[in-house]
Amino acid sequence: MGSLQLKSIRKAFGNHEVLKGIDLEVKDGEFVIFVGPSGCGKSTLLRTIAGLEDATSGSIAIDGQEVSNTPPAKRGIAMVFQSYALYPHLTVKDNMGLGLKQAGTPKDEIEKRVAKASSMLSLEPYLARRPAELSGGQRQRVAIGRAIVREPKLFLFDEPLSNLDAALRVQTRLEIARLHRSLKATMIYVTHDQVEAMTLADKIVVLNAGAVEQIGSPMELYNRPANMFVAGFIGSPQMNFIDATRLGESGAKSIGIRPEHIALSRESGDWKGKVIHAEHLGADTILYLETETTGLLTVRLFGEQHYHADDIVYASPDRASLHRFDGDGRAIR
Ligand SMILES: Nc1ncnc2c1ncn2[C@@H]1O[C@H](COP(=O)(O)OP(=O)(O)OP(=O)(O)O)[C@@H](O)[C@H]1O
């Protein structure tokens, strides 16, 4: 079991309020990801759940039990950090088993759990090595292994992949997804990487300046963002925002259009414009246009497209995929 309930969590450092009343329900077995701009309070929220920071007010319950006054080691939580935090003088095996040893777990039980975790993470060949003799990806797997052997109610991950190179990030991301499926454990994960959030999460929590902007599945956030902040934050390249009056749309202040919801033609279409810059990515082509009607417009086309800077083009939005926002930036349904 590993459910989590946060009620009105507030946290201030001095008179700087970093968390401004966070409410959240995490179900047993859910994979929940916190995203948001730098400094919005993601890590502070995670550390508060772990007990590494004390909330200024509010309540934290794990499996229905209030834990606000429970020390970190007694909360049934295991945390994986960006920096791995391994002991350099201990072998992989001893790093993984240390927490259990300190908790007085019998030796054969430690052996069994370390063997199982190292098999899950393909770490068997490295058990006798020290952290300095491992790659960054292997070190992070040891850090994850150390969390697994504790059989926690909750796994907390603080940007675990951000020290890895691009290829290794993808590989380790897949491993974490697989691990979540096989352990059926509750995982809470902080990242600033959109793709990680979209691909791993059952539920994404979008934070902004210490408050929740929206909570939903990746596709809910993508298809039905509650406001312009979420609309602009989720999706890459970013959604285009156009003043509604320029499009003759009454009843809305801004219109949002995702770059992938715009078609392009050399002959005809809704908005005539000029290509400012073209990014040919192979699988996709990203074009930056300047049109008289919309101003700057980002367009994402599938596959290789032979558009280049200074080409004159016509852009046409998919009318069914427009997002409408009111003067306060809230989505109009
Ligand atoms: N120990 C501390 N003392 C004072 N201020 C702090 C402390 N820890 C964090 N803060 C401040 O709290 C705010 C939120 O920090 P936090 O690390 O939670 O943000 P974040 O969303 O995780 O950012 P990033 O994506 O850059 O890691 C920041 O303004 C930060 O400077």
Judge if 222 and 257 occupy the same domain: no
Least Cα distance to 11 among 64, 38, 51 occurs for 51
Neighbours of 253 (CB within 10 A): 18
pLDDT band for position 1 (cuts 50, 70, 90): confident
Cβ 118 vs Cβ 124: under 8 Å: yes
Question: What pLDDT score was predicted for residue 109?
Answer: 95
pLDDT over 80 (residue 87): yes
Percent of all residues in the chain with a pLDDT value above 90, rounded to a whole number: 84
Mutation pick for ligand 1 pocket among 13, 47, 157 (CB with most ligand atoms within 8 Å): 13
User: What integer is the mean pLDDT of 266-282?
Assistant: 96
Mean pLDDT for 158-185 is 89
Of 230, 265, 289, which marks where a domain is finished? 230
Pocket test for ligand 1, best of 10, 34, 44 (most atoms within 8 A of CB): 44
Residue % of the chain over a pLDDT of 70: 100
Residue 220 and residue 189 share a domain? yes
Rounded average pLDDT over 14-25? 96
Domain annotation covers residue 331 = no
Residue 332 covered by a domain: no
CATH of the domain at 281: 2.40.50.140
ipTM above 0.90, yes or no: yes
Q: Is 28 among the domain residues?
A: yes
Tokens of 237: 């390249």
The ligand 1 atom nearest the CA atom of 159? 27
Question: pTM (2 decimals)?
Answer: 0.92
C-beta of residue 299 within 8 angstroms of C-beta of residue 240: no
Whether 315 is in a domain gets the answer yes
Domain, as residue range, for 266:
240-246+253-325
Mean pLDDT confidence for 291-300: 96
- pLDDT band per the 50, 70, 90 thresholds, residue 262: very high
Q: Are residues 127 and 179 in the same domain?
A: yes
Band of pLDDT at residue 293, cut at 50, 70 and 90 = very high
Q: Are residues 202 and 54 part of one domain? A: yes
- Same-domain status, 86 and 207: yes
Please indicate, yes or no, whether residues 208 and 94 belong to a single structural domain of this protein. yes
Q: What is the CATH number of the domain that holds 208?
A: 3.40.50.300
Tell me whether residue 111 is in a domain: yes
pLDDT beyond 90 at 332: yes
Residues 115-163 pLDDT 10s: 999 998 889 999 999 999 998 888 989 999 999 999 999 999 999 888 8
Q: Is the pLDDT of residue 279 over 90?
A: yes
Could you tell me if 118 and 159 lie in one domain? Answer: yes
Residue 52 lies in a domain: yes
The verdict on 193 and 291 lying in the same domain is no
Average pLDDT, the chain: 94
Q: Which of 286, 251, 249 lies closest to 270 in space, CA to CA?
A: 249
Q: Are residues 261 and 205 in the same domain?
A: no
User: Is residue 330, in this structure, part of any structural domain at all?
Assistant: no
Q: How far is the CA of 285 from the centre of ligand 1 (A)?
A: 36
Total domains present in the chain: 2
pLDDT value of residue 299: 98
Residue 290 clears pLDDT 80, i.e. is over it: yes
User: Counting atoms of ligand 1 from 1, which one is nearest the CA of 207?
Assistant: 21
Q: What is the dihedral of CA 254, 37, 8, 203, to 10 degrees?
A: 80
pLDDT value, residue 90: 94
Q: Are residues 141 and 284 in the same domain?
A: no
CB within 6 Å of ligand 1 — which residues? 13, 18, 36, 38-44, 192
Residue 333 placed within a domain: no
What is the number of the ligand 1 atom nearest to the C-alpha of 53?
1
Q: What is the largest CA-CA distance in the chain?
A: 75
Give residue 204 CA to ligand 1 midpoint distance, Å. Answer: 20
226 plus 257 within the same structural domain:
no
Please check whether residues 16 and 97 belong to one and the same domain. Answer: yes
Q: Given this model, what pLDDT does residue 168 score?
A: 84
In angstroms, the first-to-last Cα distance of the chain is 37
Q: Which of 30-44, 106-120, 156-170, 223-237 has the lowest mean pLDDT?
A: 156-170
